[in-house]
Amino acid sequence: MSSSRMPWRTRAATAVLAVLAGIGASAVPGPALAATPPENSRQTVTYHGYRIDVPADWQVVDLTENPRACIRFDRPAVYIGEPADQNDCPARVVGRTPGIVVEPITARSAGQATAATARTQPGKATAPSAASDNDTIQIAVEDAGVLVTAAHTPATESLVRGVLGSAKLTAGAKRTELPRAAQQSAVAPLVAAGPQPGSYLGKGFDACTAPSQAAMNAWQTSSPYSAVGVYISGSFRGCAQPNLTASWVTNQTNNGWRLFPIDVGRQAPCTSYSLKMSADPATAKSQGVTAAAGAVTAASNLGIPAGSAIYSDIEAYTSTASCKAAVLSYLSGWTERLHSSGYLSGFYSSAASGIKDAASEYNNSAYTRVDHLFYAWWNGAADTNTGTYVPATYWSNHQRIHQYVGEVTESYGGYSINIDRDYLDVGTGTPPPPTCTGVNLNFTSYTTVQNGSTGDRVKAAQCLLKAAGYDPGAPDGIFGPATTTAAKNFQTSRGLTADGVIGPKTWTALLSRGSTPTIQNGSTGEAVTRLQRALTAALGRTIAIDGDFGPGTEQGVRDYQSSRRLSVDGIVGPATWGALQSGK
């Protein structure tokens, strides 16, 4: 395979065999694991007083026996125990099948919790209403003291929910509560670190799973790298991310590391991957919007601020005219949605396929151009030259990352990591901000509007939908079929009932959309205005919309937090923003 094409991230056969060999013994029951012979093609797995029934052909990996095992979701497996700081992951794993991680609730694992993490009721091991975020369901089973993370694809979600629904508590269960602060941690230190990767010229690397803090410290001291690619989101991420938390992000950026966040979502329709974008350009664009919305949520949860670039990973494909149209339409939706939240859009692919296709339509106004290129061309040259794939004048203003060597293992300070080598020449840039100039968004109530409605509230809804990347056409105050479609697509992206009716939940999600700084009594500005609008919609009562976080706004926040079972402190941090932006 040509080095200018991005290979499948599962192609390193020797590495895979080595991992399989290393974890083979871990499928044998040990002190922490009880597995019964398959019954009706099922097997029972028990850990820490938490028991589930899984298909008999799933691999069971005991991390107590083999803590360095790579937690990967490209093959059906259950991982039990606490992951080690170091693992034996190959650099590239793309693809997802059902996979479940059951780990003890600790200070480290609690850092993975987000606003989407469900908690079981006392005496229960299941949470039937747990939401799926980026095709991942996470449940804190506090009566067993475990955090359960379940990966799936759209096609396997029902299977995974069935497995989670089989869960029971055993006599060995001991309660450990997930700290409430785990979902409300402040991210102000990271915001101070600035957008990522920011302005940087030099070497970096990307790895399948974010390295431990100890490894990052060792590499910072003795490696030639000062930037690291991290897989923050996407329905096709192959590796788990036990280290990747908001505190990890804050620590790295405060220590001088630059991050380039990566999303692995739908792949080109002309590939054999199991999760592909539609060959229909309009549908593909909508799918790009949805992917970007998930990436923005993930970035926000990790404290990666607006102004950062997020790179969509679309692996190598054999290009055709229709395939290219689908990919570039997907990237148009991806870019427009990221811009609407103040982020820059990046595109990762093989120089010989996706990157070449993007360059060929650089000046085509039918597509929205991405801001940064991140291209795989394994020629060993640490530079941002694109050869014949991309003209030198395209994306020439500090907008390039070159992945110039793939799948190599390097060791610094006693820590070995399998990586891809990258060279970055990037700048901050500024995405065009969404505006609703001349459209009134401030109302004393946000009444339900739907097909056939007219007036200023309809115009406000249309403007907000358009700014969110769901275009209903020019805001004209007339709620017609295009507005209904845009509303349904927005609702789908937020996990709301996709009925096209803009009621309290949809209003709340629309009005709160945007950056998510931590704000409290005394804060002022645009984020406070958005909060006040969203609270007015969510609570069904008027909150003064003046951009000034005073006692009335604080009481509204406390009432909202209490009614949504959030930590009641009157401070709007990630958990409260997450609930508002999910339409809760």
Lowest-confidence pick of 29-43, 67-81, 123-137, 336-350: 29-43
What are the E-state strand segments in 327-436? Answer: 344-350, 372-376, 399-412, 415-426
Average pLDDT over every residue of 505-528: 89
- Give CA–CA dist 142/121, Å, rounded: 8
- Give CA–CA dist 179/105, Å, rounded: 9
Average pLDDT over every residue of 503-529: 90
> pLDDT tens digit string along 9-44?
332 322 332 333 333 322 323 333 333 334 468 999
Question: What percentage of the chain exceeds 90 in pLDDT?
Answer: 66
Nearest CA-CA partner of 119 in 75, 161, 196, 178:
178
pLDDT reported for residue 331: 96
User: CA dist 110 to 33, 46, 100, Å?
Assistant: 22, 21, 17
> pLDDT tens digit string along 549-579?
999 999 999 999 999 999 999 999 989 998 9
- Give CA–CA dist 555/550, Å, rounded: 9
Q: How many CB atoms lie within 10 A of CB 558?
A: 15
Nearest CA-CA partner of 441 in 532, 345, 562:
532
pLDDT reported for residue 32: 36
HSE-CB of 88 using CA atoms within 13 angstroms = 16
pLDDT reported for residue 435: 62
> pLDDT tens digit string along 93-138?
778 899 999 999 998 888 888 878 999 999 999 999 999 987 899 9
DSSP string of 67-84, one letter each residue: TT---BSSS-EEEESPPP
- Give CA–CA dist 141/115, Å, rounded: 15
DSSP string of 299-319, one letter each residue: HHHHT--TT-EEEEE------
Q: How many CB atoms lie within 10 A of CB 555?
A: 13
Average pLDDT over every residue of 207-235: 94
- Give CA–CA dist 343/338, Å, rounded: 5
Structure tokens at 251: 């620590």
- Give CA–CA dist 91/403, Å, rounded: 12
- Give CA–CA dist 40/178, Å, rounded: 35
pLDDT reported for residue 270: 97
Nearest CA-CA partner of 86 in 107, 71, 65:
71
Cβ contact 295:233 at 8 Å: yes
Burial code of 433-460, b = ≥16 C-beta within 10 A, e = fewer? ebeeeebebebeebeebbeebeeebbbb
pLDDT reported for residue 191: 45
Q: How many CB atoms lie within 10 A of CB 498?
A: 15
Structure tokens at 334: 């991806």
pLDDT reported for residue 198: 92
- Give CA–CA dist 111/113, Å, rounded: 6
Q: For residue 136, give the 3-state DSSP assignment.
A: strand
Q: For residue 47, give the 3-state DSSP assignment.
A: strand
| Mean of all residue pLDDT scores within the chain | 87
Lowest-confidence pick of 193-197, 331-335, 417-421, 534-538: 193-197
> pLDDT tens digit string along 307-316?
899 999 999 9
- pLDDT value at 67 more than 90: no
What are the E-state strand segments in 427-509? Answer: none
DSSP string of 399-430, one letter each residue: EEEEEEEEEEEEEETTEEEEEEEEEEEE----
pLDDT reported for residue 574: 87
- pLDDT value at 273 more than 80: yes
- Confidence tier at 144 by pLDDT (50, 70, 90): very high
- In terms of phi and psi (left: phi > 0; alpha: psi -120 to 50; beta: otherwise), the region of 276 is beta
pLDDT reported for residue 431: 60
Residue with tokens 């908001």: 246
Cβ-based burial of 182 (10 A; exposed 0-12, middle 13-18, buried ≥19): buried
Q: How many CB atoms lie within 10 A of CB 480?
A: 16
pLDDT reported for residue 543: 95
